[in-house]
Amino acid sequence: MISWGYLRSSIEIGQKHQTRQSHISARSGRDGNLKGKTLKGECPSDIDKKPQGKYYTRQDNVLDFVGIEDMGMVFPGGSARFVDMNEIRYRERRINNRLPVAREGLPFIIGSLVLTCVFFWIGHLFLVIMAGGLTLFMVFFFRDPDRKGNKEDRAILTPADGRIIGLEEIQGRENPLGEPAVKISVFMSLLSVHVNRIPADGRISKIEYRPGRFFSANLDKASEENENNQITLETDSGVRVVFVQIAGLIARRIVCWVREGDGVRAGQRCGLIRFGSRLDVYLPVGSYVVARVKDRVRAGETILGYLP
């Protein structure tokens, strides 16, 4: 039998929870649904208190995951943006990945490993060799080596591993940068590391996804017609740079781990394109480009050029 004291305690706990939810609803203006809600201006006083869970804060213009208060992101100046904590954890684990392979590759690696074990169990040697080879390829393809970003002043790092297949100056404004620009194209083959990285310190000011075709990534028309994700970076010096993740003939999956408003570091992981693709970088005219066509480059380490 449930005692009156227990029932009374349960009611009091429920009332406190309801009062707290009402307070959060009043702050968010969306009946307690805080996902994606932005509050501008001064933070409510309760957000300024010591956090009870996990949140991340902006320090030196970079997002650092350090703990959370009411699912909130706290910034200098007192503004707060409420976010989905599951998304924060998802992004944090990938941006600060400590595994030797990208987490997006784990389902492929585990799946092919399970197949290898099944074929071994039934005693089919040929299929064991094929599945084992597939497992090794998946581990190799999704490898995610640790890289240390180059900190040279005004340097722009390549966001992708691979080979430079294009270098041209665009006079018009019909390009993702919206002004005359220098375009550098990097082709990622099946043998390249496919984790993409941030080219310079700064802030993500815009992200625009565009559906499209799936032509071979080494063709010029791939830049215009293929599915792509355009990321605009405003560097600490105030110069805009755009880099574009482009799907290829085999690559049908573009992954982006950064969001608009994120502070980022040069060399930081920002996304991945599966199974062969291309990445274009647009620099403002006047940039000093040191990269050359056919050069082999390494994401987060090789310098493409220097901003004006």
Give the residue numbers marked as catalytic: 277
Q: CA 30 → CA 35, 44, 64, 82, distances in Å? A: 9, 16, 27, 11
Pair of tokens at residue 47:
């957000």
Cβ-count burial 91-106 (b if 16+ within 10 Å, e if not): bbebbebeeebbebbe
Q: Whole-angstrom Cα distance, residue 160 to residue 182?
A: 17
Q: Which residues contact 43 (CB under 8 A, 6 or more apart)?
A: 74, 78, 79, 80
Structure tokens at 169: 């100056």
CB 269 within 8 Å of CB 136: no
CA distance 138 to 101: 9
Q: Which residue type sits at 176?
A: P
Residue 292, classified by CB atoms within 10 Å of its CB into exposed (0-12), middle (13-18) or buried (19+), is exposed
- Do 180 and 141 contact (CB within 8 A), yes or no? no
Strand, helix or coil for residue 162: strand
